[in-house]
Chain A
Amino acid sequence: MRILLVDDERELVSTLAERLSFRGIDADWVISGEDALKKAETETYDLAVLDVKMPRISGIKLKGMLEAKYPDMKFIFMTGHGSEDDFRAGSANAYYLVKPIGIEALVSKINEALALDT
């Protein structure tokens, strides 16, 4: 199980990746949409955790792009803005977490998302 973490906050995303590795989840991280696309070309990921608001390519846009290329990829969104209600329209079939997120909640969402696939 490989996971790609995308967030423009380097400190956040790197720490998150490290914490997930403590829990046996192999996670790579990048700090922009462009980097994520590049990274996805070289590696295969089962799931991407995306920040909604990022410079240039937003999380929602990035999800569309990745989904087009890798239809099997699952997505979990993280945001510092809003809540689930106003997100339903643009992020169907996706999980949603509001920052600051609890690591346990993230892990359970990841498991949940991937379990759906299996």
Chain B
Amino acid sequence: MIPAIYLCCIGAVLEYKNVHSIIPPCKFFCSILNCNSSHLDLAMSILEKLRPKFWNHVPRDIPKSKDQFNFRRIWNLAVLLTAGVALLPLTIMTVIHYQVTQNAIESEIHNHTYRLVRNTWGTVSYFLGERRTVLDLIAQDTTFEELNDPSHLSAILKNLKRRLGGLVDLGVVNSSGRQTSYAGPYKLTNVDYSDQKWFKEVMESGVYTSDLFLGLRNIPHIVIAGKYGLTGGSFYVLRATLDIDTVNNALYRLELSGFGDAFIINKEGILQTPSRYHGEVLNKISLSVPVYSSKAQVLDDKDPKGEPLIVGYAYISDTPFILMIVQKKGELLKPWYKIRMELIWFLVISITVILLVTLGVVTYLVNRIYVADQERAMSLHHMEYSNRLASIGRLAAGVAHEINNPLAIINEKAGLIKDMFTYKEMYSEDKKLIGLVDSIISSVNRCGTITKRLLGFARHMDVSIQPVNLGEVIHEVLGFLEKEAEYRSITVSVDVPDDIPQFESDRGKLQQIFLNLVNNAFAAMEEGGRLDIKVRRKDEDSIWATVSDTGCGIPKADFERIFCPFFSTKTKKGGTGLGLSITCGLVQEIGGDIDVHSEVGKGTSFVITLPLKRKKEGK
């Protein structure tokens, strides 16, 4: 389940990034892990919740300027740089540490094997050398005649067995290759060795050490022999058969880790001592025979199955023997593998933590920048809006004032005509003339009402707190839209009960609030719509004002965003997305609250709660 969601998250992230081409592999993983589309949906919904506000930010529809932030780009850059700066040194240090540790451990394994080979080589060499020295001593201390005395020879052998051990028999061979005297378990007196290879070799080089052989008792033995001179230029050969159990035991007792194996082979690769893993005694080993070296060596090799091995070896001088210690590299490196796994886990956890922290911090900071930028843009627009409104107000006031003067003249002139008709009897009976003059005066009065209203409206923009009659404000605002309502057959009803008292508030802001809401309602309605403005007492301290229309309504999905700055469904028709945002801001500034109820196709109601007693200015 967890990996399924994890993989789905990866898939969702990719989809999130619009990399649709990589989605099929994720779905493939999902199918392997038996996760269905609900997991994908779950992952998507998790990501949807985690998605920061700025992610879907669309740059404002204004000419590109330095002030415009591309938040996704900032986020990407910040994540890449921060994560890069943190992860690069970590990764480099981990790789270096990995290499150094691995090299140190491998070097330690080689050194250990080398020391082991050296020590064991010493033991084996000592065993053989000691027995060879014994032969030399016997030859030196004992005359040829004494050696040819079987009882004397037997006594020597008995002594040696007791004191030294490892000897099976002793024999004296004369210069013609015949064994003249023999002490041991077999009857080998008078055996002719003249044709034997070992005899020829001992004749040539003076000493001889045989390969391992089983002998008559079927027990592995080696033979050592030495050539000793006699007075008169003749010579004899003293030979001894060695029981190599001592060597075997010494090799067997070696403490070797990693399926280690210590044994001796001859130069043809035939095993001279038992091996644990590389064959039977007197069989050829499965490994290649290492090249000659006068010193102990350690090298990397592979067994026939391809498994890496550490092979330590040393040629034993004056013998055909090669001491070998073979260990499985994989087994020796097990502790290292454990450390390596810990290292990898450390790296993975570190990277995960760094990435999570980076993502979290960068997202938080970019979000803060985004919010600050939105607020900055909002207040700039708010200022621009207020300035524009104030300019329009001043313009309107100027126009109204300028028009008022000629209007006053028309008024007075028409009035004078009327006076003349009224006060002079010759005209007073002419009803038609009086009617015409009345009509002029009534039109002038209408114009006067408009200019007075304009002047009043413009003036209130600059004035702050004063006693306000909400009904008056609403009627004043509607006064500007009466004609439009008439042309579009929109029924407008205002219901302000008498129990709504005057209250202290900012008249200009109230005018703007209602003007914006009524304008929005008009924009949402087709011909023949209905606009209801109701004011109700909520409680002692506050009232409700509801502006309802029978317009197109607002989809539920947009509810949360309609009060956000720059959210508009009318951008192509010149909407700035600021109307409701500014309205909301104005309502809050006068200590009120605004809420919306809407149903698509049926209409929208904006409910404003206004305090009757003023709190501290603004929120």
A interface residues (Cβ-Cβ under 8 A, vs B) = 9, 11-12, 15-16, 18-19, 22, 53, 78, 80-83, 85-86, 98-103
**Are A86 and B416 touching (Cβ within 8 A)?**
no
Known: A11-B413, A22-B419, A100-B410. 12 other contacts (CB 8 A): A9-B408, A15-B416, A19-B415, A80-B451, A81-B397, A81-B455, A83-B455, A85-B463, A86-B459, A98-B448, A100-B407, A103-B415
**Are A80 and B404 touching (Cβ within 8 A)?**
yes
Pick 16 A–B contacts, CB within 8 A, sort by A.
A9-B405, A15-B409, A15-B415, A16-B412, A18-B416, A19-B415, A80-B403, A81-B400, A83-B452, A85-B463, A99-B411, A100-B408, A100-B411, A100-B412, A100-B448, A102-B445
Residue in B401, B404, B423, B456 whose beta carbon sits within 8 Å of that of A100 in the complex: B404
User: What's the nearest-Cβ distance from chain A to residue B610, in Å?
Assistant: 21
Compute how far the CA of A22 lies from the CA of B407 in the bound complex, rounded to whole angstroms. 21
User: What's the nearest-Cβ distance from chain A to residue B403, in Å?
Assistant: 8
**Are A12 and B409 touching (Cβ within 8 A)?**
yes
B242 beta carbon closer than 8 Å to chain A: no
Compute how far the CA of A103 lies from the CA of B409 in the bound complex, rounded to whole angstroms. 12
Compute how far the CA of A19 lies from the CA of B441 in the bound complex, rounded to whole angstroms. 14
Residue in A19, A82, A85, A101 whose beta carbon sits within 8 Å of that of B408 in the complex: A101
Contacts of B403 in A (CB 8 A): 80
Residue in B411, B452, B459 whose beta carbon sits within 8 Å of that of A85 in the complex: B459
Contacts of B459 in A (CB 8 A): 82-83, 85-86
B271 beta carbon closer than 8 Å to chain A: no
B444 beta carbon closer than 8 Å to chain A: yes
Q: A15-B409, A99-B405 are in contact. Are A83 and B416 (CB under 8 A)?
A: no
Compute how far the CA of A86 lies from the CA of B459 in the bound complex, rounded to whole angstroms. 9
Contacts of A81 in B (CB 8 A): 397, 400-401, 404, 455
B interface residues (Cβ-Cβ under 8 A, vs A) = 397, 400-405, 407-413, 415-416, 419-420, 422-423, 444-445, 447-448, 451-452, 455-456, 459, 463
Contacts of B409 in A (CB 8 A): 9, 11-12, 15
User: What's the nearest-Cβ distance from chain A to residue B614, in Å?
Assistant: 19
Q: A22-B419, A100-B444 are in contact. Are A15 and B413 (CB under 8 A)?
A: yes
Q: Which 8 A-B pairs have the closest CB atoms?
A: A80-B404, A100-B411, A15-B412, A99-B408, A100-B408, A81-B401, A99-B404, A22-B419
User: What's the nearest-Cβ distance from chain A to residue B297, in Å?
Assistant: 110
- Closest-by-CB residue of A relative to B407 is A100
**Are B416 and A100 touching (Cβ within 8 A)?**
no
User: What's the nearest-Cβ distance from chain B to residue A112, in Å?
Assistant: 20
User: What's the nearest-Cβ distance from chain A to residue B315, in Å?
Assistant: 119
Compute how far the CA of A19 lies from the CA of B404 in the bound complex, rounded to whole angstroms. 19
Contacts of B416 in A (CB 8 A): 15, 18-19
Contacts of A103 in B (CB 8 A): 412, 415, 419
Chief secondary structure at chain A's binding surface: mixed
Contacts of A9 in B (CB 8 A): 405, 408-409
Compute how far the CA of A19 lies from the CA of B420 in the bound complex, rounded to whole angstroms. 8
Compute how far the CA of A78 lies from the CA of B404 in the bound complex, rounded to whole angstroms. 11
Compute how far the CA of A22 lies from the CA of B565 in the bound complex, rounded to whole angstroms. 62
Compute how far the CA of A54 lies from the CA of B428 in the bound complex, rounded to whole angstroms. 37
Between B402, B447, B459, the greatest number of chain A beta carbons within 10 A of the residue's beta carbon is seen for B459
User: What's the nearest-Cβ distance from chain A to residue B215, in Å?
Assistant: 136
User: What's the nearest-Cβ distance from chain B to residue A90, in Å?
Assistant: 15
Compute how far the CA of A103 lies from the CA of B413 in the bound complex, rounded to whole angstroms. 11
User: What's the nearest-Cβ distance from chain B to residue A118, in Å?
Assistant: 26
Contacts of B410 in A (CB 8 A): 100
Compute how far the CA of A73 lies from the CA of B191 in the bound complex, rounded to whole angstroms. 173
Compute how far the CA of A102 lies from the CA of B418 in the bound complex, rounded to whole angstroms. 13
- Closest-by-CB residue of A relative to B460 is A85
User: What's the nearest-Cβ distance from chain A to residue B336, in Å?
Assistant: 91
**Are B455 and A82 touching (Cβ within 8 A)?**
yes
User: What's the nearest-Cβ distance from chain B to residue A11, in Å?
Assistant: 5
User: What's the nearest-Cβ distance from chain A to residue B404, in Å?
Assistant: 3
Compute how far the CA of A39 lies from the CA of B373 in the bound complex, rounded to whole angstroms. 65
- Closest-by-CB residue of A relative to B419 is A22
Compute how far the CA of A2 lies from the CA of B463 in the bound complex, rounded to whole angstroms. 39
Q: A81-B397, A82-B455, A83-B459 are in contact. Are A99 and B419 (CB under 8 A)?
A: no
Compute how far the CA of A9 lies from the CA of B447 in the bound complex, rounded to whole angstroms. 19
Compute how far the CA of A61 lies from the CA of B232 in the bound complex, rounded to whole angstroms. 165
Contacts of B444 in A (CB 8 A): 100
Q: A19-B419, A100-B404 are in contact. Are A12 and B452 (CB under 8 A)?
A: no
Compute how far the CA of A98 lies from the CA of B402 in the bound complex, rounded to whole angstroms. 13
Contacts of B404 in A (CB 8 A): 80-81, 98-100
Contacts of A12 in B (CB 8 A): 405, 408-409, 412
Contacts of A22 in B (CB 8 A): 419-420, 422-423
Contacts of B411 in A (CB 8 A): 99-101
User: What's the nearest-Cβ distance from chain B to residue A108, in Å?
Assistant: 15
Contacts of A19 in B (CB 8 A): 412, 415-416, 419
Contacts of A11 in B (CB 8 A): 409, 412-413
**Are A99 and B407 touching (Cβ within 8 A)?**
yes
- Closest-by-CB residue of A relative to B412 is A15
**Are A83 and B456 touching (Cβ within 8 A)?**
yes
Compute how far the CA of A85 lies from the CA of B457 in the bound complex, rounded to whole angstroms. 13
Contacts of A99 in B (CB 8 A): 404-405, 407-408, 411, 448
Contacts of A80 in B (CB 8 A): 400-405, 408, 451
Compute how far the CA of A103 lies from the CA of B417 in the bound complex, rounded to whole angstroms. 13
Compute how far the CA of A18 lies from the CA of B417 in the bound complex, rounded to whole angstroms. 11
Compute how far the CA of A71 lies from the CA of B407 in the bound complex, rounded to whole angstroms. 33
Compute how far the CA of A78 lies from the CA of B408 in the bound complex, rounded to whole angstroms. 10
Compute how far the CA of A15 lies from the CA of B420 in the bound complex, rounded to whole angstroms. 11
User: What's the nearest-Cβ distance from chain A to residue B399, in Å?
Assistant: 11
Contacts of B415 in A (CB 8 A): 15, 19, 103
Compute how far the CA of A103 lies from the CA of B400 in the bound complex, rounded to whole angstroms. 20
Compute how far the CA of A81 lies from the CA of B408 in the bound complex, rounded to whole angstroms. 12
Compute how far the CA of A59 lies from the CA of B342 in the bound complex, rounded to whole angstroms. 94
User: What's the nearest-Cβ distance from chain A to residue B407, in Å?
Assistant: 5
User: What's the nearest-Cβ distance from chain A to residue B469, in Å?
Assistant: 13
Compute how far the CA of A16 lies from the CA of B412 in the bound complex, rounded to whole angstroms. 6
Between A19, A78, A85, the greatest number of chain B beta carbons within 10 A of the residue's beta carbon is seen for A19
Compute how far the CA of A80 lies from the CA of B448 in the bound complex, rounded to whole angstroms. 10
Compute how far the CA of A12 lies from the CA of B406 in the bound complex, rounded to whole angstroms. 8
User: What's the nearest-Cβ distance from chain B to residue A77, in Å?
Assistant: 13
